[in-house]
């Protein structure tokens, strides 16, 4: 019996895993977006077509004449990825094909420049999975602030100084805005919790109609941390309550990953140079840290992240996901 199990394990190990995006691309070391993309594409499987907005992912995977993609892939602009994906879906439907269209964009092509086309795609009900890799700034063009950039973060266009402690405005609540379109499924995910991420991709792929996933994806260059700690940084965003991992169906909250013991927001912020100015010994810096903690506390209360089931953990060290009274590892 043991020999049979060993033979089966060896056979599984020898079987090639589907790779829709392969190594050799030019992402930075520790790039959260590269890891998130690989997880999404592997989970989707080979029968997909991708519309990819301008941005880091498009640049580092397709330096002419090379390409890291092994599935049909189309480069769209910052502002029209939703429209391009909708057109691809309509064409496939007219041909009677079942191939799923998946749209990829960063926060610039989702929260900002591309939002109009995204909203139209959602409102019209196209059968597209739209994935936003949220690295919280325009990283490819010089680390400029976007509406996804957190409050008080330093970017090249929101430098801290005497009159302001980094970005003045709050991060846009994109998941609530998208969910208000009453689409079948929308969710948040993190590269620090790959099982949860894969599960949400599978859920979205099983649904006919528009679905949306925003994946928190650390950027060592823009956030100012070593590439070796990208996963640790991403995990702290979840454990502090700053990045709630939630599911919404038709605009209603249906699941949230509980937090066993919330970490103070300073544990997350101090690992990133973009927040270094918040640790100066000034009243302004202290006030901004209090604001951050208040934001995290609000998320914990709003989404009920301290649930009665928050004592159990899955194999990744993550708290179990509570959805409608059921538990998903």
CA–CA gap between residue 69 and residue 234 (Å, rounded)? 25
Q: State the pLDDT at residue 320.
A: 43
Query: How far is it, in rounded angstroms, from Cα 285 to Cα 281?
Result: 7
- Render pLDDT for 51-105 as a digit per residue (tens, 0 to 9): 999 999 999 999 999 999 999 999 999 999 999 999 999 999 999 999 999 999 9
Residue 310 has pLDDT above 80, yes or no: no
Q: In the prediction, which pLDDT does 307 show?
A: 67
* pLDDT of 12: 66
CA pair distance 210, 119, nearest whole angstrom: 10
Tell me the percentage of the chain whose pLDDT exceeds 70: 91
In 3D space, the residue among 153, 186, 151, 106 whose CA is nearest the CA of residue 296 turns out to be 151
E-assigned strands of 148-266? Answer: 185-190, 211-216, 246-249, 252-256
Q: Residue 198 — very low, low, confident or very high, per pLDDT cuts 50/70/90?
A: very high
Q: Which of 14, 10, 16, 36 is nearest to 218 (CA)?
A: 36
| Arithmetic mean of pLDDT, 190-209 | 98
Q: Which uninterrupted H or E stretch holds 46?
A: none
* Percent residues over pLDDT 90 in the chain: 85
User: Angle at CA 167, nearest 5°, toward 165 and 168?
Assistant: 80
Structure confidence at residue 162 (pLDDT): 86
Q: Is a pLDDT exceeding 80 seen at residue 319?
A: no
Residues 213-241: tens digit of each pLDDT: 999 999 999 999 999 999 999 999 999 99
Q: What tens digit of pLDDT does each residue of 242-269 get?
A: 999 999 999 999 999 999 899 999 999 9
Torsion sign, CA atoms 224, 61, 172, 209:
negative
pTM of the model: 0.89
Q: Cα(233)–Cα(235) distance, rounded to whole angstroms?
A: 5
Q: Are 136 and 153 in contact (CB under 8 A)?
A: yes
Answer yes or no: is pLDDT of 208 > 80. Answer: yes
Which residue segments constitute the domains of the chain, with CATH numbers given?
21-321 (3.40.50.970)
133's enclosing H/E stretch is strand 128-134
pLDDT for the residue numbered 312: 42
Tell me, what's the pLDDT at 314? 43
b/e for 63-75, b at 16 or more Cβ within 10 A? Answer: eeeeebbebebee
Given a cut of 70, whether residue 329 has pLDDT beyond it is no
C-alpha span between 198 and 127 (Å, rounded): 19
For residue range 126-179, list pLDDT tens digits in order. Answer: 999 999 999 999 999 999 999 999 999 999 999 999 888 999 999 999 999 999
Q: How many residues does this entry show for the chain?
A: 329
- Output the pLDDT for position 192: 98
Per-residue pLDDT, 18: 85
CB atoms within 10 A of CB 51: 26
pLDDT tens readout for residues 5-26: 787 777 767 766 788 999 899 9
Position 110 pLDDT exceeds 70: yes
Write phi, then psi, for 152 (nearest 5 degrees): 75, 5
Distances (CA, A) of 288 to 6, 31, 144, 263: 56, 28, 20, 17
User: Cβ contacts of residue 28 below 8 Å, gap of 6+?
Assistant: 60, 219, 220, 221, 227
**132: DSSP letter:** E
User: Does the pLDDT of residue 311 top 60, yes or no?
Assistant: no
CB 143 within 8 A of CB 221: yes
With left for phi above 0 and alpha for psi between -120 and 50, is residue 101 left, alpha or beta?
beta
Instruction: Decide if pLDDT at 317 tops 50.
Output: no
Interaxial angle between packed helices 230-239 and 32-44, expressed in degrees from 0 to 180 and rounded to the nearest 10: 80
């Amino acid at each position: 019996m043991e020999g049979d199990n060993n033979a089966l394990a060896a056979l599984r190990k020898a079987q090639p895993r589907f790779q829709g995006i392969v190594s050799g691309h030019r992402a930075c070391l520790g790039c959260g977006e590269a890891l998130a993309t690989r997880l999404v594409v592997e989970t989707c499987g080979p029968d997909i077509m991708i519309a990819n907005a301008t941005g880091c992912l498009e640049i580092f995977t397709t330096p002419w004449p090379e390409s890291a993609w092994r599935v049909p892939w189309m480069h769209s602009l910052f502002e029209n990825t939703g429209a391009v994906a909708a057109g691809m879906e309509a064409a496939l439907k007219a041909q009677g094909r079942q191939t799923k269209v998946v749209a990829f964009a960063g926060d610039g092509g989702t929260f900002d420049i591309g939002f109009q086309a995204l909203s139209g795609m959602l409102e019209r009900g196209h059968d597209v999975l739209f994935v936003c890799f949220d690295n919280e700034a325009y990283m490819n063009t010089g680390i400029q602030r976007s509406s996804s950039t957190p409050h008080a973060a330093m970017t090249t266009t929101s430098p801290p100084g005497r009159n302001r402690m980094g970005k003045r405005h709050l991060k846009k609540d994109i998941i609530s805005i998208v969910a208000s379109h009453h689409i079948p499924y929308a969710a948040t995910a993190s590269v620090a919790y790959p099982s949860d991420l894969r599960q949400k991709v599978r859920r979205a792929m099983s649904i006919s109609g528009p679905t949306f996933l925003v994946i928190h994806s650390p950027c060592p260059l823009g956030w100012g941390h070593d590439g070796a700690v990208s996963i640790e940084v991403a995990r702290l965003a979840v454990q502090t309550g700053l990045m709630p991992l939630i599911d919404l169906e038709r605009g209603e909250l249906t699941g949230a990953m509980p937090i066993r013991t919330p970490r103070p927001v300073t544990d997350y912020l101090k690992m990133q140079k973009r927040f270094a100015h918040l640790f100066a010994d000034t009243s302004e810096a202290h006030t901004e840290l209090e604001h951050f903690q208040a934001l995290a506390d609000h998320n914990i209360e709003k989404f009920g992240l301290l649930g009665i089931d928050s004592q159990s953990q899955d194999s990744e060290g993550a708290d179990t996901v509570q959805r409608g009274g059921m538990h998903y590892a």
